[in-house]
Amino acid sequence: MQEGTPIIEFKNVNKVYPNGTVGLDNINLTINKGEFVVIVGLSGAGKSTLLRAANRLHDVSDGEILIDGQSIVSAKGKQLREVRRNIAMIFQNFNLVKRSTVEKNILNGRVGYYPTWKTIFGLFSAADKQQAAANLQRVNLGEKLYSRADELSGGQQQRVAIARALMQEPKIMLADEPIASLDPRTTMMVMDDLKKLNEELGITVVVNLHSVSLAKQYASRVVGLRAGKLVYDKQIGDVQDGDFDEIYDGKNQEVKEA
Q: Which residues bind another protein (CB under 8 A)?
A: 55, 57, 81-85, 87-89, 91, 93-100, 104, 108-112, 116, 119-120, 161, 164-165, 167-168, 174
Closer CB to another protein, 98 or 251, in the complex = 98
User: How is 140-161 classified by DSSP, letter by letter?
Assistant: T-GGGTTSBGGGS-HHHHHHHH
Closer CB to another protein, 149 or 215, in the complex = 149
What stretches of 73-183 show up as alpha helix (H) in DSSP? 77-85, 102-108, 116-120, 126-138, 154-167
Minimum distance, C-beta of residue 183 to another protein, in the bound complex (Å): 20
Measured CA distances, 152 to 18, 144, 161, 184 (Å): 38, 8, 12, 17
Closer CB to another protein, 22 or 111, in the complex = 111
Determine contact, residues 156/36, Cβ cutoff 8 Å.
Answer: no
Which residues neighbour 172 within 8 Å (Cβ) at sequence distance 6 or greater? Answer: 7, 8, 54, 67, 86, 87, 88, 203, 204, 205, 206
Minimum distance, C-beta of residue 95 to another protein, in the bound complex (Å): 3
Closer CB to another protein, 120 or 134, in the complex = 120
Which residues neighbour 229 within 8 Å (Cβ) at sequence distance 6 or greater? Answer: 25, 26, 27
Closer CB to another protein, 5 or 116, in the complex = 116
Minimum distance, C-beta of residue 174 to another protein, in the bound complex (Å): 8
Minimum distance, C-beta of residue 91 to another protein, in the bound complex (Å): 6
Minimum distance, C-beta of residue 124 to another protein, in the bound complex (Å): 12
| Identity of the residue numbered 106 | I
Closest C-alpha to 46, from 37, 58, 55, 36? 58
Minimum distance, C-beta of residue 42 to another protein, in the bound complex (Å): 23
Closer CB to another protein, 94 or 248, in the complex = 94
